């Protein structure tokens, strides 16, 4: 850096100067800097746009869906895409586009809510165990081991049997299972990070444990967490399909992408569109998630290149 910049930054900087100086004027936090970097990543922006589009469609479905999801036309039966039914109809003559839109509501909600539950519980649990260490850590992680050892299907079936079938419960049950791995990843990250001198420096500044975890440890562990999160969301969506298939999740005439795919797979030789279109919707969501996840990881890593 030259001395020209030293003096110019103090007073008024020409707007077209190096972007660092522009950032010195407006940027304030890690998150704002990350957003600046994310904006330059086209793939990530594409992913974000697709996800937002899907979410908006999901929210507005009851008003914008071309047909009601219970509306059958048994005479029509399974028909290929046509002017009336853009994506065709299923064996009961229901409009596939409508089904995919309604299915998206369930799938996206399960994916995001259950993952959010897993993220919040897992990250805080793992960070506390890793930071406190000693006996607390040993106790907390043995609890995780015990939960790991439980066959999770039995756990969910048990929950469903006791509390009855309930969408909210499904979210919770899946989240309860998925946070275990998150906690382990977070703990190992925190354990490695707390050895670093910048944590010691934070202690000697007088910061409390909560502030140290929030400001110093979690931001540095974000990379693996984001990657694992983008892997968890599709996993959760498929898990919901599996549970629904077993009759433990949601039931017809309600539907989800997972359910549509599993029905479509049964008849894929006669009516391939019943598999292709729901599959496409899920695949597009997963691609978008991965692009966004990669972009976020790079954007939050301040060491990645600035251009």
Partner 1 sequence: MSLLNVQNLKVSFHTRNGEVKAVDDISFTVETGKITAIIGESGSGKSVACYSLLGLIPTPPGKIEGGSAVFEGNDLLQLSEAELRHIRGRDIAMIFQDPMTCLNPYMTVGHQLMEPIIYHKGVAKKEARQHAIELMEEVGIRDPDSTIDSYPHEFSGGMRQRVMIAMALINEPKLLIADEPTTALDVTIQAQILKLMADLQKKHSIGIIFISHDLAVVADIADQIIVMKKGKIVEHGDRQKIFKNAQHPYTRSLLAAIPAGTKVVSGSQSEALISIRNLNTWFGQGKHKEPVKAIKDVTLDIRRGEILGLVGESGSGKSTLGRSILRLVPITSGSISFDGVDLTELQGKDLKKMRRRMQMIFQDPYASLNPRMSVYDTLAEPLLLHKIETKKTVEQGVLKLMDDVGLARAFVRKYPHEFSGGQRQRIAIGRALATRPEFIVADEPVSALDVTIQAQILDLMLDLGKEYGLTMLFVSHDLAVVKHIADRIVVLYKGEIVEQGSGRDLFENPQQEYTRQLLQSIPGRALLG
Instruction: Report the residue number, 93 or 219, with the smaller CB distance to partner 1.
Output: 219
Instruction: Report the residue number, 221 or 237, with the smaller CB distance to partner 1.
Output: 221
> How many angstroms separate the Cα of 19 from the Cα of each of 8, 22, 45?
14, 5, 21
Instruction: Report the distance separating Cα 292 and Cα 287, nearest Å.
Output: 9
Instruction: Report the residue number, 134 or 164, with the smaller CB distance to partner 1.
Output: 134
- How many CA atoms lie less than 13 Å away from 51 in the CB half-sphere? 22
Q: How far is the CB of 113 from partner 1 (least distance, A)?
A: 28
Look up residue 66 and give its two tokens: 């071309």
Give the interface size with partner 1 as a residue count (CB under 8 A).
Answer: 37
- Of 81, 133, 209, 219, the one binding partner 1 (CB under 8 A) is 219
Instruction: Report the residue number, 201 or 280, with the smaller CB distance to partner 1.
Output: 201
Assign 3-class secondary structure to 45-60: HHHHHHHHHHHHHHHH
Report yes or no: 118 and 179 within 8 Å, Cβ to Cβ: yes
Instruction: Report the distance separating Cα 27 and Cα 48, nearest Å.
Output: 22
Determine, following the binding rule CB under 8 A, whether residue 215 of this chain makes contact with partner 1: yes
Determine, following the binding rule CB under 8 A, whether residue 23 of this chain makes contact with partner 1: yes
Helices of type H across 27-164: 30-38, 42-64, 96-109, 115-132, 134-149, 152-163
Instruction: Report the distance separating Cα 112 and Cα 95, nearest Å.
Output: 26
Residues 6+ apart with CB under 8 A from 30: 219, 300, 302
Interface with partner 1 in residues 183-212 (CB under 8 A): 196-198, 200-208, 211
CB atoms within 10 A of CB 306: 13
Going by the DSSP 8-state scheme, the letter that residue 87 receives in this structure is: T
Q: How far is the CB of 288 from partner 1 (least distance, A)?
A: 26
Instruction: Report the distance separating Cα 138 and Cα 298, nearest Å.
Output: 33
Determine, following the binding rule CB under 8 A, whether residue 5 of this chain makes contact with partner 1: yes
Determine, following the binding rule CB under 8 A, whether residue 6 of this chain makes contact with partner 1: yes
Determine, following the binding rule CB under 8 A, whether residue 227 of this chain makes contact with partner 1: no
- Of 14, 15, 29, 74, the one binding partner 1 (CB under 8 A) is 29
Q: How far is the CB of 6 from partner 1 (least distance, A)?
A: 4
Q: How far is the CB of 121 from partner 1 (least distance, A)?
A: 23
Determine, following the binding rule CB under 8 A, whether residue 38 of this chain makes contact with partner 1: no
Instruction: Report the residue number, 51 or 221, with the smaller CB distance to partner 1.
Output: 221
11 SS3 class: coil
Of 162-170, 213-221, 228-236, 285-293, the segment contacting partner 1 by CB under 8 A is 213-221
φ and ψ of 89, to 5 deg:
-130, 160
Q: How far is the CB of 194 from partner 1 (least distance, A)?
A: 12
Q: Is the peptide bond before 173 cis (omega within 30 degrees of 0)?
A: no
Q: How far is the CB of 142 from partner 1 (least distance, A)?
A: 20
Q: Which residues bind partner 1 (CB under 8 A)?
A: 1, 3, 5-6, 8-10, 20-21, 23-24, 27, 29-30, 33, 196-198, 200-208, 211, 215-216, 219-220, 300, 302-303, 305, 307
């Amino acid at each position: 850096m030259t001395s020209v910049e030293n003096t110019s930054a103090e007073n008024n900087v020409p707007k077209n100067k190096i972007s660092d100086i522009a950032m010195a004027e407006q940027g304030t936090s890690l998150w704002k800097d990350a957003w600046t970097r994310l904006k330059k990543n086209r793939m990530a922006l594409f992913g974000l746009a697709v996800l937002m589009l899907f979410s908006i469609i999901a929210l507005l479905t009851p008003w914008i869906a071309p047909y009601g999801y219970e509306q059958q036309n048994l005479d029509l039966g399974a028909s290929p895409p046509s002017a009336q039914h853009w994506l065709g109809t299923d064996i009961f003559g229901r409009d596939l586009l409508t089904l995919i839109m309604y299915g998206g509501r369930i799938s996206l909600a399960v994916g995001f809510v259950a993952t959010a539950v897993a993220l919040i519980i897992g990250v805080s649990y793992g960070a506390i165990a890793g930071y406190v260490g000693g006996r607390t850590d040993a106790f907390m992680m043995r609890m995780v081991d015990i939960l790991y050892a439980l066959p999770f299907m039995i756990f969910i079936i048990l929950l469903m049997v006791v509390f009855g079938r309930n969408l909210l419960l499904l979210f919770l049950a899946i989240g309860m299972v998925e946070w275990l791995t998150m906690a382990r990843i977070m703990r190992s990250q925190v354990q490695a990070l707390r050895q670093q001198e910048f944590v010691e420096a934070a202690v000697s500044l007088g910061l409390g444990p909560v502030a140290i975890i929030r400001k110093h440890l979690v931001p540095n562990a974000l990379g693996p967490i984001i990657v694992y999160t983008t892997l968890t969301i599709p996993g959760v969506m498929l898990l919901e399909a599996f549970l629904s298939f077993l009759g433990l999740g949601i039931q017809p005439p309600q539907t989800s992408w997972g359910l549509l795919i599993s029905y479509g797979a049964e008849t894929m030789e006669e009516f391939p569109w019943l598999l292709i279109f729901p599959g496409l919707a899920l695949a597009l969501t997963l691609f978008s998630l991965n692009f966004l996840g990669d972009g976020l990881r790079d954007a939050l890593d301040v060491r990645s290149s600035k251009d």
